[in-house]
Amino acid sequence: MSIFINKKTKVLTQGITGEQGAFHTRNSAAYNAEFGGARWVGGVTPGKGGDQFDAGPYKIPIFDSVRDAVEKTGADATMIFVPPPFAADAIMEAAEAGIKLIVCITEGIPAIDEVKVKAFMRSYPESRLVGPNCPGVITPEECKIGIMPGHIHKKGTIGIVSRSGTLTYEAVYQCGQRGLGQTSCIGIGGDPVPGTNFIDCLDAFNRDPETEAIIMVGEIGGTAEEEAAEFIKREVKKPVASFIAGQTAPPGKRMGHAGAIISGGKGTAKEKMEALRAAGISVAESPAALGEALVAAMQKKSVGVR
Amino acid sequence: MKIHEYQAKEVLKRFGVPVPRFGVAETPDEAYEIARQHGTPVVVVKAQVHAGGRGKGTVVGAPEKLGGVKVVKDVHQVRDIARAMLGNKLVTIQTGSDGVLIRKVLVEEGLDIARELYAAVTLDRARGLPVLMMSAEGGMDIEEVAHKHPEKILKEWIEPAFGLQGFQARRLGYKLGIDKGSVGKKFVPLIQGLVRAFLETDASMAEINPLVVLKNGDVLALDAKINFDENALFRQKAIAELRDPGEEDPTEIEAKKHDLSYITLDGNIGCLVNGAGLAMATMDIIQYAGGAPANFLDVGGGATRERVTAAFRIILRDPDVQAILVNIFGGIMKCDIIADGVVAAARELGLKVPLVVRLEGTNVEQGKKILRESGLNITEAKDMKDAAEKVVAAARGAVGAGVGA
């Protein structure tokens, strides 16, 4: 099992004719095809409808609108590479067309646009947005929707949720060193108003019978980790390990991600780590100790390390 | 992006928020002339720097003890106060011990103040909505109020499509004990103006502290601070022009030109990393290994050889840097391309400080081969922990050698 996507997912790319959109569509389609997994069914670029796109393993049609694409292909997921000024529009278009999983990779979307997207999406409760400003979602050996390097992943029992891209790869790598694969890895993104938050993913991993343990990678800024800690304490029986990036970050400075900022003395790594520890989560002090923290959490709850 | 107080007041004024009469001076004579034109018995001279805590700060080199905000009761003193501020540095709790140069002062009319309130609009990340926060404890350090008496902060959430409704603004006015005659006529327009300014200029924070009620019942923004969402500047041309590069770190400005995300820190180990999270984690692990990072630097996903060279150049602008750690988890970015960039940059810049490189991910073997065959003195690390320990040791060695020589 897995969360959000699997080998039956039918994927579109919005902004498929841009350099990034084209590259990552081919990269993801090739990964999925290698495992006989999910199929890329089309792309959307307004004005280029009717053209064909060479996705690598096969050719796919380009449509003018998401609605057209859904009607013709039955797509239920989309990967968005539309530039920041038009990204909010692309997300809303996907939701309105009935897409169930909307993965927005675009970085640099104005915060107020993200607020409007969130408000808009309340009318489409069947649709889930992951991101923006995220690496995407992968269910190893079934379906990759995003910019992560597919081959570092392996099918397994660990669920990973993270605000950071490369730090997720680090977590996957440390799992791999211990022979642990993943059910799904969700990059929720580094922006202040993410479509999907830690709790959404923790809840899904908690319900997923294949997921035996969870890694949650947080960072400074906001209170999402504190809220997640409360949720874990209340609901999650599975072992959870965590790392919070930014213990050495100065206050008032945006650390690369729009959402990674300590403001008004709030959102520090220290507060987050304390909240997580208080909820019984195994917290790694150092990013190199995430794998160890995971194994420790699994042993404590007697979950088999295979 | 931050702007000065006088600029924030000009922005608010455009949205109908009343502000005191003010002028901006770059010379003592200009300051005096503005004060004279106000014609009020009291004027206030305020240093225009981006840092907060001005009132409690200290102007370095002033003849008498002077903060960044001075109430002047004799208009003839304005020239002396302005002279003491302009061209000197102001040290506040937010500036560090070096302080920041005062290049402009705001000269404002004095007012008969009855009450001081607090108002700010910011993004409530947990709800995903802007929130207006108000308190009767104006002029105070709001973080302290929030910490000690969270119940004293009143909140109204704002639906971005509708803005702040009249009933929400009235509710705040009544709770804050504003004179009933003034709520509808004066208080509501000011508060709605503040919220409109926040929404329409893509602000990330808009604060009026204090918001004053005068003895005649008028309400005004006595101080103002607005920060803007960098991601929205593409559609806020007029706001983008308010940027004052003189207030920003020149190295950070240079980095931005190369699409690098860079922040100067106090330590001596330069860092070059891909991805914001990994870059923060790299700083953390350096500290965990007993060292101190000199910077945050994310080269981003699409780093080219040119960008890597630019990144090295920027790291080396900091004279404190004693060693450099390159930590790359290649995904889409291939390790061999990064290795090429590292070798080219090290050759081009004649790198003198020790360099520790940790590569992992796509094409890692080709990358390592390029580093090994370069003939350069590059220390390879097998993982993050190893990398941090090696670079901390290298920086210590370099410091020792420096002292010995």
Tell me the average confidence (pLDDT) per consecutive run of 10 residues in chain A, 306 residues long: 92 96 95 96 96 95 98 98 97 98 97 96 97 96 95 96 94 95 97 96 97 97 95 96 95 90 88 95 95 94 62
* Residues B69, B142 within the same domain: no
Q: In a 3-state reduction of DSSP, which class is residue B120?
A: strand
Asked if the structure places residue B13 within a domain, the reply is no
Among B76, B109, B142, residue at a domain's last position = B109
* Residues B228, B267 within the same domain: no
Asked whether the whole model's pTM tops 0.90, one would answer yes
Q: Which residues of A are catalytic?
A: 257
B261/A256 CB distance under 8 A: yes
Closest residue in A to B230 (Cα–Cα): A110
* Residues B98, B198 within the same domain: no
Asked if the structure places residue B151 within a domain, the reply is yes
* Residues B173, B57 within the same domain: no
* Residues B386, B259 within the same domain: yes
* Residues B294, B344 within the same domain: yes
Residue with tokens 């709030």, as numbered in its chain? A266
Chain B residues whose CB is inside 8 A of the A115 CB are: 123, 128-130, 160
Asked if the structure places residue B9 within a domain, the reply is no
Could you read off the pLDDT tens digit of each residue along chain B, which spans 405 residues? 999 999 999 999 999 999 999 999 999 999 999 999 999 999 999 999 998 889 999 999 888 899 999 999 999 999 999 999 999 999 998 888 889 999 999 999 999 999 999 999 999 999 999 999 999 988 777 777 777 888 889 999 999 989 999 999 999 999 999 998 899 999 999 999 999 999 999 999 999 999 999 999 999 999 999 999 999 999 999 999 999 998 888 899 999 999 899 999 999 999 999 999 999 999 999 999 999 999 999 998 777 788 888 999 999 989 999 999 999 998 777 889 889 989 998 898 888 899 999 999 888 999 999 999 998 989 999 999 999 999 999 999 865 444 333
> Which tokens hold the place of B372?
């090994």
Cβ–Cβ pairs < 8 A, chains A and B: 182
B interface test, pick of A117, A166, A198 with most B CB neighbours within 10 Å: A166
A254/B230 CB distance under 8 A: yes
Q: Which residues, at least 6 apart from B8, have a Cβ–Cβ distance to it below 8 Å?
A: B206, B224, B225, B226
* Residues B162, B270 within the same domain: no
Among B55, B77, B109, residue at a domain's last position = B109
Asked if the structure places residue B16 within a domain, the reply is no
CATH number at residue B292: 3.40.50.261
B123/A253 CB distance under 8 A: no
Bin A47: left if φ > 0, else alpha if -120 < ψ < 50, else beta: left
User: Among B32, B207, B262, B389, which one carries the catalytic annotation?
Assistant: B207
* Residues B128, B236 within the same domain: yes
* Residues B151, B215 within the same domain: yes
Q: State the Cα–Cα distance between residues B94 and B7, nearest whole angstrom.
A: 20
Domain ranges of chain A: 10-130, 154-300
Note whether A10-130 and A154-300 share their fold. Answer: yes
Bin B228: left if φ > 0, else alpha if -120 < ψ < 50, else beta: beta
How far B280 CA lies from chain A's nearest CA (Å)?
5
Asked if the structure places residue B6 within a domain, the reply is no
A162/B385 CB distance under 8 A: no
* Residues B329, B259 within the same domain: yes
CATH number at residue B215: 3.30.470.20
For A10-130, which CATH class?
Answer: alpha beta
Which H helix or E strand runs over B169? helix B166-175
* Residues B325, B384 within the same domain: yes
Residue A291 phi, psi (nearest 5): -60, -45
Q: Which of A169, A190, A246 sits opposite B331 (nearest CB)?
A: A169
For A154-300, which CATH class?
Answer: alpha beta
Q: Say yes or no: A110 contacts chain B, CB-CB below 8 A.
A: yes
Q: State the Cα–Cα distance between residues A144 and A127, nearest whole angstrom.
A: 18
Closest to B2 (Cα-Cα) out of B230, B299, B331 = B230
A interface test, pick of B280, B332, B334, B363 with most A CB neighbours within 10 Å: B280
DSSP string across B246-272: GGS-HHHHHHHHTT-EEEE-SSSEEEE
Residue with tokens 């971005």, as numbered in its chain? B160
Closest to A88 (Cα-Cα) out of A49, A125, A129, A127 = A129
What is the domain range of residue B216?
Answer: 113-240
Residue with tokens 């479509």, as numbered in its chain? A195
As for the ipTM of the complex, it is 0.92
* Residues B177, B195 within the same domain: yes
Domain count, chain B: 3
